[in-house]
Chain A
C-alpha cells in the first residue's frame, strides 16, 4: 500500500450566505486507520463530510483521494472514488427489503433479477467477512435501528467503498449496539478500510479512533493521536475553554416530600400494560433520577405526570391529589399546579419546529397575564422581549427570537425548552432526556441549570437513558424495568454494573450475588 493518505483535503472553505461553515480546512487521513472528527453541533463537521460526498461544492480547496486530485461534484462521483457515507438519518427506503436497499442505485442492468441474485451472494460474503449478519429479505421498517445502520454500512461496502464516513453513528444506538458497531469498525480497519467517524461524544473518540481532528466554528483547531490526548483536552479544544465533564454540585438538602406516586398503572392503546404499579416520591431540593433502558415505562411515567396520557393510582403534589383521568388531567392543569415538563422528544413534543423561538416560548403559558393584553389580544412585543431575555440568560445561540426552532442546533433547541420550563421556577420539574443530541458545552450548561433549580428547593424528576447522566446528576436513583421500579440506590453507593443489572431486570440482592459470584 502506498504512503499517500486515503483522504487529503487542502484549504477547503464553504460559506452558506454570511455563515462560514468551513474555513480553510486541511486534513490528512491515512489508509487503514479510524480517524475521528469531533466538534460541537454546528462546528462544520457535517458540512465538511457533505463536501467530501458531493452534496455541496466547496468554494475553495482541493480533494485528493489516495494521492490523486479528485473532483466530487455529486454523490455518483464520490461513490466512484470509493467513498461510502452512513448518514445520521438513514437513507433507506422503509418498505423495501434489505436486499433492495443495497441494490438501489448500484444495479447491474435494466432488469432486477440478476442484480438481486448477485447482491444476495455478495451480502452473504460480506456478512461473513465483517460480522454484519442480516436477513436480506427483511423489510427495513421491521428491523431495529442497529440493523438499519448495518444495512447502510453494507450499502457502502457493496459499492466497494474503501473509505467509510459515519456521521454521528451512535446517536440512535443503545450502548450494546454501539459496542457492536465499534467491533465492526475495527474489523473493517483490519481489512484495510479507512474510516472517518464524526461525533460529538468524547468517549467514542477515545474508544475507537487512531487519530482525531477537532473542529470549532468552522475551523480545524487540532489533529492529534488519540493515544496522546485526553477527554479533557479534547473537550477544551472543542469548546474553546475548560469544560467540566463531571457535574459540580453540593450535596442535596432535601426538604418535605413534594411528589408522591402510589401504585401508578397505565395501559397503552395496544392493550399492553406499560406501568405495573409504580410508587415513588420526590422531595423538595432533590433530583430523583430514573434509570432504565428506553421503553420500560419511563416515558409513560413522565407523560402521566405531565398530563399527556392518563393512568390509574394516586399521585399527590404537596399533599393534594392530582386528577389522573378527569377534566383536570391535561397538561394545562398540570402547569397550573406548578409542574413544568421538558419532554423527552423536544422536536415533536417540546417545540413546533416551524414556529419562531418567541412563539415557542409561549407554549403552555400563553394564558400568562404578562403575554396578554385584555381578554383577547396577545402581547407579542412583551412575549418577544421575555424570549430575548431568556435566550440571553440561557445562552441560546444565536439569541434571536425571530429564528424558527428548526434553525437552532439541537443543544440550543433544548436550551429554549429548558429556559421556558425552568424560568417559571416550578414546584416540580419533569425532565426527559435533557441532553439527547446536545453538544458538550450545552450539556454542561443544562446540567447546571437543573442543579440550580434543585438548590432553589424545587423537586426534580429526571429520566434519562444515559447512565452517566443519571449517576452524575441524581441525588437518588430509581431503576425501572418492565413497568416496575426495580429498586432505589444512592449514587455514591452503587456503580454502573449494579445499575446495569437492575436495568436488565435482575433483582438487587441477586445482582450482588451475580456480581460477586461472576
Chain B
C-alpha cells in the first residue's frame, strides 16, 4: 500500500466523517440541554431532499442549503413543541420525525420529479464544489508535505471545513460562554436554572434550534456535496451512527470529532476492499465491510466502551415541583 493510497483513504475518511460530525454536534447541543433527539436521522434526510430539490429548481446550492436548514429547523421546532412545550416523550417524538421524513421525502420527490423518488442530478452551481486551497497545485510536488496538503487538506467542499471549524467553536460555546454554562446546566438540573431566574424553556428551544441548523447542514452536505442529488433513504442510518458517536464521545466536542473520524474511516475502507485484501492478505466480504460502522454502533450502544453518563436531566420534561 503506497503513501498516496493512505492519503486517499484518509481523504475519504474526512469526507464521510463530515455529515456524521455535523449530526453528532447537533445531537450534542440538544442532549446537553436535556432533550434527547433520536430524530437526527429524519432531519438529515428531510434536509437532504429539500436542499437538493431547491438547489435543482433554483440552480443555486446556497438557496438549497438555506432551504435544507429551514426544513430541519422546522422539524426541530416540532420536536421542541412536542417535548418541551407539551412535555411529551422525546423518543416517540423523534421516532415520529424519522418516519415522517422517510416517507414524505420519497412521496414528494416522486410527485415532483417523477424519477422514482429521487431528484435530478445536480450540476454546476447547484452543487458544492471542492475548494482548492492556495498553492495546492504548486506545493503538490514537495515530498511528504506536498501530497498531504494537496490531497488531504485541500480539495474539500466548504462544508467540510465548516464542520471541522464547528468542533472548537462548539467547545468554546459550551465551556467558555454564559450560554454554554446555562445550556449544560439545563441538561443536568433544570431546577437549578429555573431558580436562578433563567428560562428553562427558552434555553432548551435555543439548543433544539442549533441542533436543527447543524442537522440541516449535514443533510444538505449529503445531497449537494457528497453526492449530486437526493436518493431514497440516503442518510442511511447516519443519524443513528452520529448518536452512537455522541455516546462514544461522552457528549464532548473534541471526542465527537475523533469518534466521527473513526466511523468515517470504517466507511472509507469499506469503499476499498482491494486495499484491505492487500493489507491483511485475504478477502473479506464487501457486505461485512459495509456493515462495520453499524456493528461498531451496536457495540457502542450496548455499552462496551466504558461508562458513559448522559446529561442527568436528559429525556425528562421539566415540571416545576412544589
Chain A contact residues, CB within 8 Å of chain B: 46-47, 50, 53, 55, 74-76, 78-79, 85, 87, 89, 91-96, 100-101, 103-107, 109-113, 115, 155
**CB-defined contacts of A74 to chain B, threshold 8 Å:** 197
How far is the CB of A483 from the nearest CB of chain B, in Å? 29
Question: Looking at chain B, what size class is its interface with the partner chain?
Answer: 20 to 34
| B77 contacts chain A at the CB level, 8 A cutoff | no
Contact call B181/A100, Cβ cutoff below 8 A: yes
| Chain B residues closer than 8 Å to A107, beta-carbon distance | 178, 181
Q: Could you mark each residue 87-104 of chain B with 1 if its beta carbon is under 8 Å from any beta carbon of chain A, else 0?
A: 000000000000000000
Instruction: Report the nearest B residue to A90, measured CB to CB.
Output: B192
Most buried by A among B177, B180, B320: B177
Find out whether the CB atom of B188 lies under 8 angstroms from the CB atom of A105: no
Contacts of A85 in B (CB 8 A): 195
Interface string of B198-240 (1 = CB under 8 A from A): 1000000000000000000000000000000000000000000
Chain A nearest CB: distance from B166 CB in Å?
Answer: 19
Question: A442 to chain B: closest CB distance in Å?
Answer: 19
CB of B188 within 8 A of CB of A96, answer yes
Flag whether B307 is at the interface (Cβ < 8 A). no
Known contacts A75-B194, A105-B193, A111-B176; 17 additional CB pairs below 8 A are: A53-B195, A75-B196, A75-B197, A76-B197, A78-B197, A91-B189, A91-B191, A93-B192, A94-B312, A96-B184, A103-B181, A104-B182, A104-B193, A105-B182, A105-B197, A109-B178, A112-B181
* Contact across chains for A101 and B192 when beta carbons are under 8 A apart: yes
Q: Which residues of B contact A89 (CB under 8 A)?
A: 191
A95, B188: Cβ atoms under 8 Å? yes
By a CB distance below 8 angstroms, the chain B residues around A95 are: 188, 312
Within 8 A of A (CB), among B271-306: none
Main secondary structure of the interface of B (DSSP, over half): helix
Most B-side CB within 10 Å, residue of A92, A100, A115:
A92
What residue of chain A has the Cβ atom nearest to residue B320's Cβ? A55
User: Contacts A94-B188, A94-B312: A105 and B196 contacting too (C-beta < 8 A)?
Assistant: yes
Could you list 16 examples of A-B contacts with CB < 8 Å? Answer: A53-B195, A76-B197, A76-B198, A87-B191, A87-B195, A91-B189, A91-B194, A91-B195, A93-B192, A95-B188, A96-B188, A103-B181, A104-B185, A105-B182, A107-B181, A110-B177
State the B residues within 8 Å of A (CB). Answer: 175-182, 184-185, 188-189, 191-198, 312, 320, 322
Distance in Å from the Cβ of A72 to the closest Cβ of chain B? Answer: 11
CB neighbours (8 Å) of A100 from chain B are 181
Chain A residues near B197 (CB, 8 Å)?
Answer: 74-76, 78-79, 105
> What is the CA–CA distance of A106 and B179 in the complex, to the nearest angstrom?
12
For B194, the chain A residues whose CB sits under 8 A away are 75, 91
- A110-B178, A113-B176 are contacts. A96–B191 as well, Cβ < 8 Å? no
Among residues of B, the one whose C-beta sits closest to the C-beta of A84 is B195
Partner of A112 from B176, B189, B312 at Cβ < 8 Å: B176
Query: B178, B185, B320 — which one has the most chain A CB atoms within 10 A of its CB?
Result: B178
Cβ–Cβ < 8 Å partners of B192 in chain A: 91-93, 101, 104
How many angstroms between the C-alpha atoms of A104 and B198 in the bound complex?
9
Q: Select which of B177, B184, B188, B320 is within 8 A of A111 by beta carbon.
A: B177
* Residue contact B198 to A105, C-beta cutoff 8 Å: yes
Is the CB–CB distance between A47 and B193 below 8 Å? Answer: no
A461 to B196, CA, bound (A): 44
> Which residues from B are CB-within-8-Å of A113?
176
Note all chain B residues with C-beta closer than 8 A to A75.
Answer: 194-197
Contact A111 B178 (CB under 8 A): yes
With a CB–CB cut-off of 8 A, which chain B residues contact A106? 196
CB-CB nearest in chain A for B186: A93
Q: How many Å from the CB of B191 to the closest CB on chain A?
A: 5
Q: Contact between A92 and B181 (Cβ–Cβ < 8 Å)?
A: no
**Residues of B with C-beta under 8 A to A46:** 322
Residues in B with CB closer than 8 Å to A55 are 320
Contact (Cβ within 8 A) A112 B188: no
Residue of A nearest to B175 (CB): A112
Contacts of B188 in A (CB 8 A): 93-96
Chain B residues with CB under 8 Å of A50's CB are 322
Q: Closest 3 A-B residue pairs measured CB to CB? A: A105-B196, A76-B197, A91-B192
Known contacts A91-B192, A105-B198, A115 near B176 by CB under 8 Å: no
* A87 contact set on B, CB distance < 8 A: 191, 195
- A55 to B191 CA separation, bound complex (whole angstroms): 11
| Chain A residues within an 8 Å CB radius of B185 | 93, 96, 104
What chain A residues lie within 8 Å of B193 (beta carbons)? 104-105
Please, which residues of chain A bring their CB within 8 A of the CB of B181?
A: 100, 103-104, 107, 112
CA–CA, A104 to B181, complex, Å? 7
Specify which chain A residues have a CB less than 8 angstroms from the CB of B322 in the assembled complex. Answer: 46-47, 50
